[in-house]
């Protein structure tokens, strides 16, 4: 590897007031996020125009809903009647507009009832737990067991031809279904650590629910509301079709469908206006619900559409707030290791935020040779996993590679089309995560899942795939491969599940395996077995390994070279043995000193003060300066470049001579 120029540093977190963009109201931004989706915008326009037309029906309808023209019975669309007439010569367009007033009001009544009952009770049940949860859930189950239509018919028998009462009853009976969805979402949120931290901090339960729980569950609530609105419209149409809810003379969409049904063999046109309107309304509710859910996720920062990311990057006024102040480092022209399987040069990864792009990792440079294992080492939050996911093009929504180059066997994978890169996944690049159970579908056996991957890569028959599955399970040292192939993931131990995940990664015979802390969740004995298995596989297949870890024991066991990362930047590059013998960056030294493996018996284990700064709060100079025992004003003044040292080592430190032995420093 060669030394590069100073890496960019992020701009200071605080900006002069003049540089800050005006913040739009949250509600306005949310509406814009919804309307940015073409399908959602079309659904909103359709529903608003339809609702407005129904509201002002007395002003715009060409005829009254009961006006008859017996000389034009069942006439098709024409100049006098734009949508034709019904069996009594009444104008279809006018009855459609007047009938929509009743249908829209019924939808609002039912949705309001289901939300006012289902959401609060679901949140209380999920958040409180215990006997409160059990009581609310049991009562809800009783209501779920009773057919809704029966109770609605009872309501109509007690209050004849009262559609308001019928729709409110429908909302009450639909509330238990919403309650169960909201309860499940609340239970998941309640288990998050920040909820426990808020409780310990003395925040009231009401405030926790309002500020932390409800915003997280609004996606499922919105989806349920849109689905129930569609169901309410269908239910109201059914009541009108049967003539149960309103005066038969009063126009309703369901009544119009019923009338069209009586003459469908004579004139099918009468069914189209009311039927198409109902179908389009249901479709619009579904599209709008999905769009609002996605916009809510975007507002929470969990998702950001690609178009919004591009707009944020193109906006200099916004992007300048979060992008590094210094110019990006030029990408080296050649790989650092000759014939490298993987060469990463100047890699920068950013996440789109409402305030612009925020840098997560920058100026990452590493290379892996055939048959070599390179360790990517650092504390949690240093950017190791993001770097690995960027190489594999598996970054989450709103996170993307914004600079640099990732070259695999001579191809710049960041520039490959999705279809071309898909051919490299599995066959060129393999991946093993730190949670093997998350890689396995609990609904399928090990053999079924592994066989699916084998058929994807080998294009073979099912018998051949089964033989290959047995070979792979034997290759990862699983005893009795046939029996394990018939098991489900929950029947496997942690070490066995990791071996299966490794077999899946090897199914395409990859030339590079990216392993993201593959031994973290395993006990010491199983860890040693997995590492020994990786060494054997590397010896037998010649594949290269990029190993993400925070464990010096893993580095000592399997790695040839090491890249140490801190706060999104690589800070030291060296052979593994040389790094153990003499670290040349204070952060590497601190990690080694605080490792239990090298601690002296009976002595207190030293630790580094402070913690890794978060993206967006990185200092201008050395990012480790606030925790470093050697830090001076020179360290904090400007970004620290990577310095090349004798023996092919590199370090991002101006005090590396203070850490080197005297004979080497001279």
Q: How far apart are CA 82 and CA 8, in angstroms?
A: 67
Structure tokens at 421: 């890169």
User: Minimal CA–CA distance to 285: which of 238, 235, 222?
Assistant: 222
Number of domains in the chain: 1
- How confident is the model at residue 28, as a pLDDT? 54
Q: How far apart are CA 40 and CA 34, in angstroms?
A: 7
Residue at 336 is within a domain: no
What pairs with residue 389 in β-bridges? none
Residue at 581 is within a domain: no
- How confident is the model at residue 338, as a pLDDT? 62
Q: How far apart are CA 171 and CA 154, in angstroms?
A: 15
Residue at 146 is within a domain: yes
Residue at 27 is within a domain: no
Percent of the chain, pLDDT > 90? 13
- How confident is the model at residue 372, as a pLDDT? 92
Residue at 61 is within a domain: no
Residue at 115 is within a domain: yes
Residue at 398 is within a domain: no
CATH number of the CATH domain containing 168:
1.10.3720.10
Orientation angle between helical segments 214-242 and 271-299, nearest 10 degrees: 170
Residue at 659 is within a domain: no
Q: How far apart are CA 95 and CA 449, in angstroms?
A: 57
Say whether pLDDT at 266 is over 70.
yes
Q: Write out the H or E segment, with its range, that includes residue 205.
A: helix 205-208
Regarding pTM above 0.85, the answer is: no
Among 42-46, 200-204, 406-410, the minimum mean pLDDT is found in: 200-204
Helix residue ranges per DSSP H, 507-637: 524-541, 552-558, 576-581, 586-593, 633-637
Count the Cβ atoms, other than its own, within 10 Å of residue 358: 18
Q: What is the pLDDT of residues 306-315, one digit of tens each?
A: 444 444 444 4
Q: How far apart are CA 360 and CA 10, in angstroms?
A: 10
Q: What is the pLDDT of residues 373-419, one digit of tens each?
A: 999 998 888 989 899 989 988 888 788 898 899 999 888 888 888 88
Q: What range defines the domain where residue 234 resides?
A: 106-277
Count the Cβ atoms, other than its own, within 10 Å of residue 425: 17
Q: What is the pLDDT of residues 290-346, one digit of tens each?
A: 777 776 665 554 444 444 444 444 444 333 333 333 333 444 433 456 678 999 998
Q: For 567-577, what is the mean pLDDT?
A: 91
The burial class, CB within 10 Å (0-12 / 13-18 / 19+), for 221 is buried
Q: How far apart are CA 448 and CA 442, in angstroms?
A: 11
Q: How far apart are CA 144 and CA 138, in angstroms?
A: 10
Count the Cβ atoms, other than its own, within 10 Å of residue 209: 20
């Amino acid at each position: 590897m060669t030394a590069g120029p100073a890496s960019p540093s992020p701009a200071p977190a605080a900006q002069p007031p003049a540089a800050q963009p005006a913040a739009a109201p949250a509600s306005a931004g949310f509406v814009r996020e919804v309307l940015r989706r073409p399908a959602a915008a079309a659904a909103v326009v359709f529903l608003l125009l339809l609702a407005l037309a129904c509201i002002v029906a007395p002003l715009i309808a060409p005829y009254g809903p009961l006006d008859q023209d017996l000389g034009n019975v069942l006439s098709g669309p024409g100049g006098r009647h734009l949508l034709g007439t019904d069996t009594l010569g009444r104008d279809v367009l006018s009855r459609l507009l007047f009938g929509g007033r009743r249908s829209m009001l019924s939808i609002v009544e039912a949705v309001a009832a289901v939300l006012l009952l289902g959401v609060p009770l679901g949140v209380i049940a999920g958040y409180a737990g215990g006997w409160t949860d059990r009581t609310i859930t049991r009562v809800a189950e009783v209501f779920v067991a009773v057919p809704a239509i029966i109770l609605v018919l009872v309501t109509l028998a007690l209050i004849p031809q009262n559609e308001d009462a019928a729709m409110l009853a429908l909302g009450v009976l639909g509330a238990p279904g919403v309650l169960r969805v909201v309860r499940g979402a609340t239970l998941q949120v309640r288990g998050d650590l920040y909820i426990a931290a808020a409780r310990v901090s003395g925040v009231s339960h009401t405030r926790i629910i309002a500020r932390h729980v409800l915003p997280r569950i609004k996606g499922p609530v919105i989806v349920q509301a849109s689905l129930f609105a569609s169901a309410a419209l269908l239910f109201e149409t059914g009541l009108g079709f049967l003539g149960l809810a309103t005066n038969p003379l009063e126009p309703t969409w369901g009544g119009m469908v019923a009338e069209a049904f009586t003459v469908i063999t004579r004139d099918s046109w009468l069914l189209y206006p009311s039927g198409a309107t109902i179908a389009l309304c249901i479709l619009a509710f579904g599209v709008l619900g999905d769009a609002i859910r996605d916009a809510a996720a975007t507002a929470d920062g969990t998702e950001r559409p690609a178009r919004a990311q591009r707009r944020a990057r193109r906006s200099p006024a916004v992007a300048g707030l979060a992008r590094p102040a210094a110019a990006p480092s030029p990408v080296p022209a050649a790989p650092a290791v000759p014939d490298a399987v993987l060469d990463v040069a100047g890699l920068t990864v950013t996440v789109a935020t409402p305030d612009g792009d925020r840098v997560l990792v920058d100026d990452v440079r590493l290379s892996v040779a055939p048959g070599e294992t390179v360790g990517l080492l650092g504390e949690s939050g240093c950017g190791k996993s993001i770097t690995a996911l960027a190489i594999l093009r598996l970054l989450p929504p709103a996170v993307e590679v914004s600079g640099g180059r990732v070259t695999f066997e001579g191809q710049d994978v960041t520039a490959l089309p999705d279809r071309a890169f898909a051919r490299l996944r599995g066959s060129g690049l393999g991946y093993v995560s730190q949670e093997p159970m998350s890689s396995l579908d609990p609904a399928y056996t090990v053999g079924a899942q592994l066989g699916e991957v084998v058929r994807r890569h080998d294009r073979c028959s099912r018998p051949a795939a089964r033989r290959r599955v047995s070979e792979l399970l034997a290759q990862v040292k699983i005893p009795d491969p046939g029996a394990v192939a018939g098991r489900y993931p929950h029947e496997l131990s942690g070490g066995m599940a990791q071996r299966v995940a490794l077999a899946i990664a090897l199914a395409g015979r990859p030339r590079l395996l990216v392993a993201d802390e593959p031994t973290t969740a395993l006990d010491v004995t199983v860890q040693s077995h997995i590492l020994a298995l990786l060494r054997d596989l590397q010896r037998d297949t010649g594949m290269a390994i990029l190993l993400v870890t925070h464990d010096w024991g893993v580095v000592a066991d399997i790695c040839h070279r090491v890249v140490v990362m801190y706060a999104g930047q690589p800070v030291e590059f060296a052979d593994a043995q040389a790094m153990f013998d003499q670290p040349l960056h204070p952060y590497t030294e601190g990690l080694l000193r605080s490792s239990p493996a090298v601690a002296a018996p009976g002595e207190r284990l030293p630790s580094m003060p402070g913690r890794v700064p978060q993206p967006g709060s990185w200092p201008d100079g050395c990012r480790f300066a606030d925790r470093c025992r050697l830090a001076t004003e020179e360290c904090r003044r400007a970004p620290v470049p990577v310095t090349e040292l004798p023996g092919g080592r590199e370090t991002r430190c101006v005090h590396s001579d203070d850490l080197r032995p005297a004979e080497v420093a001279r």
